Amino acid sequence: MIGNIVAGLLAPKVAEVISVNYLVVAGGGGGGGFGCGAGGAGGMRCTVTATGGSGSLETALSLGVNTNYTVTVGAGGSTTPTNGSDSVFATITSLGGGYGGAYNIAAASGGSGGGGGSFTTGLSGGSGNANQGYNGGSGNTDNTSWRSGGGGGGASAVGASTTSNKNGGNGGAGRATSISGSSVTYAGGGGGGAADNGGTGTRGTGGAGGGGDGYAYNFTTPSAGTTNTGGGGGGGGYTFGAAGGSGIVILKYPDAKTITIGAGLTGSTAAPSGGFKVTTITAGTGNVSWV
């Protein structure tokens, strides 16, 4: 009997683990300028309702308590343009959206691809990641007049290509998830700009899920991707394109556990509901842990 008690005391303790569902959306790409291509949406990876691209729904992570896990919320791409920044949770990385093409600058690949620019020749859209988002649309190849740009790819659809020298392509739609308790759409692609010197062109509209609208010749400026959606920035025309929207990380876990949000992160936790807590992290880089 005593031997059994001693053996039990000396046996290694099994580390406690919890199941954590997640939404990880990266920053959207910046829209191209003077060539009209829109920014692609940030990559979307999610374990609840739906995920980005054509891949299967992601699987919840089994994580240890009293252990630090890295979280990074990716910033939106700039008007230079640049790709959006990656977002990270533990072993999960979502890729920043590709920037939109511009005059003689090819659109970039990313979580979702940037829309192709044009001007002297049409350019193809950037490629999206198959498990996070879709490709951007192509810019116009009509060499008889001014050009218009393709829409940025979104989490659920490719950006629209444009065959018109007047009208920009629409951004690809994002995808909805109910991880927060209500259905919210994230990661819409930006709309392509319309550099039509006749003044009759129509700018591309951003995709549902935070995509920004493109430029129009009546000097309607392009709009940025919406903050904390990963939406792509609208494509420019005679202006620079617009910035992409920042990403977001949302974590859902058993309500018996308490999360610590480390320094460097901005976040909040909703009241428990249905046996779970939901923590939303909107900016920064740092660690989270549970007890």
Mean pLDDT of 29-56: 95
Give a yes or no: residue 4 inside a domain.
no
- Element housing 10 (H / E): helix 2-10
Complete DSSP assignment for 203-264: PPPPPTTTPPP--BTTTB---PPPTTTTPPPPP-SSS--PPPPP-EEEEEEETTS-EEE-TT
pLDDT at 9: 47
The four Cα atoms 102, 103, 109, 113 give a dihedral, to 10 degrees, of 50
pLDDT digits (tens, 9 = 90+) for 165-198: 788 999 999 999 999 999 999 999 999 998 776 6
- The answer on pLDDT for 31 being more than 60 is yes
Q: Among candidates 24, 8, 30, which has minimal Cα distance to 244?
A: 30
- The answer on pLDDT for 73 being more than 90 is yes
pLDDT at 122: 63
pLDDT at 123: 85
Give a yes or no: residue 11 inside a domain.
no
Domain count, the chain: 1
Share of the chain above pLDDT 90, in %: 77
Rg (CA), the chain: 21
Which distant-in-sequence residues (6+ apart) come within 8 Å of 275 by Cβ? 254, 255
- Element housing 7 (H / E): helix 2-10
Give a yes or no: residue 83 inside a domain.
yes
pLDDT at 129: 98
Q: How far apart are CA 181 and CA 193, in angstroms?
A: 35
Give a yes or no: residue 54 inside a domain.
yes
Q: 45 forms bridges with which residues in the sheet? A: 24
Give a yes or no: residue 8 inside a domain.
no
Q: 64 forms bridges with which residues in the sheet? A: 17
* Pairing state between β 87-89 and 265-269: unpaired
Q: Which domain holds residue 145?
A: 16-291
Residue 285 structure tokens: 């880089």
Q: How far apart are CA 79 and CA 65, in angstroms?
A: 41
Cβ atoms of 212 and 206 within 8 Å: the answer is: yes
pLDDT digits (tens, 9 = 90+) for 218-270: 778 999 999 999 999 999 987 899 999 999 999 999 999 999 999 999 999 99
Give a yes or no: residue 213 inside a domain.
yes
Residue 5: strand, helix, or coil: helix
Give a yes or no: residue 80 inside a domain.
yes
* Residue 266 neighbours by CB distance under 10 Å: 12
Give a yes or no: residue 257 inside a domain.
yes
pLDDT digits (tens, 9 = 90+) for 113-158: 999 998 656 689 999 999 999 999 999 876 556 678 999 999 999 9
